[in-house]
Amino acid sequence: ADAGEFSINGSMLYMTQDVGMSRPTDTLREMLIEVAPPALREAGRELVRAERAMQAGEDDGMAYATALAHWGDLGGYDLEAQWQASAQRSVKSEVEDVFTRLVSELSGGERKRLVLDLLLHSGADVLLLDEPDNYLDIPTRQWLEDELRACPSTILMVSHDRTLLERCSNKIIAVEGSGCWVHGGSFATFPEAREKRQELLGDDLKRWHEEERRLFHHMKIMKQRAAQNFKNATKANAAETRWEKFVAAGPPPPPVPDQQIYVRLRGADAARRVAQLNGVSMHDLFKPFSDEIYHGERVALIGPNGTGKTHLLKVLSQELSPGTGDVKFGPRTSVGVFTQINDRPDFLGRECIDIVHDRISDEEKAMKTLARYGLRNQAR
């Protein structure tokens, strides 16, 4: 933090929103080590390093034996039993060995549920959950709501899911307008409380401006009187000082402007049938199927975590080839892709305005586009 301090009484565990996304070649054990308590986390990392050194012939096994003993002394074997229990409860496909199965073999939703199950049954005093509902299918979201309500831990979670916040929270910390404020209730009453707060902020700001004008005019009057009679100079200086101090203290925070984002989607007007799927399958994820998608349709793709929804989107975006069948697009159809991660290495190190210039060459139009998403000040 840049200023201030915070403290947490008791044990604390933290889950990131992108569980396992950045290291897909890790094993499930390595992923779960990263959400372990601090002492076990460091011991687990050291154990993995010692194992790899021994396998590479860089160590005679003494370092591994020491790391393994330290892992056991801290309760690592008990933690491994918790891993296995959570895997059996949460992952639909059999997890025979968390030591060897790769993170990439589970879907994003399966990884998220596995870690959530582990943390919600960990007994930690405090849980910090960054967007726990991301990647979860509809049944798992219901499971998450039930688990959050039943968990005895104090939970601080970041979420954009209004239903989850309404059903599972009893206090809201709103981060907006370069500050924070607290609503002592669930999201069910938050919109009304925020509207009332916005009104109060507007009233306070209006009164501040009125008072500033009153002090300013009073100072001007006293200056004029002092010019006519030097005996008023002291009062004039006092009025000026009072006005200057008031202005220096600054106005109260203004109401937070509601961000209005308008997304413009352009369709392929000339192509009535935009895509045709012929006998498309993806190995053991889903069987062959055929379908046609027409211009203007809004197609929802639903299904449990791990059934191949993301794989099908990758087939449609031509990032992957189907196991069988093919996909044909209309002659004037272009495909735009927005993924759940939307990782774009080609954007790294580039300024916002330069990225927009890839599509919009005109400087004024590019700046208007950034302004529409509240990014004008981050253009460069």
| Every domain of the chain and the residues it spans | 12-169, 191-249, 345-378
* pLDDT band with cut points at 50, 70 and 90 for residue 107: confident
Tens digit of pLDDT for each residue in 301-360? 888 887 888 889 989 988 889 989 999 988 888 888 888 776 777 888 888 888 888 888
Q: At what angle do helices 233-249 and 190-228 cross, to 10 degrees?
A: 160
* pLDDT band with cut points at 50, 70 and 90 for residue 264: low
Tell me the DSSP string of 87-153: HHHH-SS--S-TTTSBGGGS-HHHHHHHHHHHHHTS--SEEEEESTTTT--HHHHHHHHHHHHH--S
- How many whole angstroms separate alpha carbon 280 and alpha carbon 327? 7
12-169: what CATH class? alpha beta
Extended beta strands in 165-272, E state: 172-176, 179-183
Task: Enter the pTM of the model.
Answer: 0.78
Q: From 98, 72, 94, select the one nearest 84 (Cα to Cα).
A: 98
Q: Check residue 269 and give its pLDDT.
A: 56
Contacts of 115 (CB under 8 A, 6+ apart): 15, 19, 31, 32, 35
pLDDT at 276 over 60: yes
- How many whole angstroms separate alpha carbon 251 and alpha carbon 34? 45
pLDDT at 271 over 70: no
Q: Check residue 95 and give its pLDDT.
A: 64
pLDDT at 2 over 80: no
pLDDT at 93 over 80: no
Q: Check residue 61 and give its pLDDT.
A: 82
Question: Of 19-33, 88-102, 118-132, 324-338, which gets the smallest average pLDDT?
Answer: 88-102
On whether the CB atoms of residues 61 and 54 are closer than 8 A, the answer is yes
Specify the residue for token string 């159809």: 333
* pLDDT band with cut points at 50, 70 and 90 for residue 371: confident
Tens digit of pLDDT for each residue in 181-190? 999 999 999 9
Tens digit of pLDDT for each residue in 163-177? 999 999 999 999 988
Q: Check residue 326 and give its pLDDT.
A: 92
Percent of the chain with pLDDT over 70: 95
- How many whole angstroms separate alpha carbon 43 and alpha carbon 29? 13
Tens digit of pLDDT for each residue in 37-72? 999 999 999 999 999 998 888 877 889 999 999 999
Q: From 102, 133, 120, select the one nearest 31 (Cα to Cα).
A: 102
* pLDDT band with cut points at 50, 70 and 90 for residue 242: very high
Q: Can you tell me the mean pLDDT for 71-85?
A: 94
Question: Of 79-93, 113-127, 143-157, 205-219, which gets the smallest average pLDDT?
Answer: 79-93
pLDDT at 267 over 60: no
- How many whole angstroms separate alpha carbon 142 and alpha carbon 319? 32
Specify the residue for token string 């460069």: 380
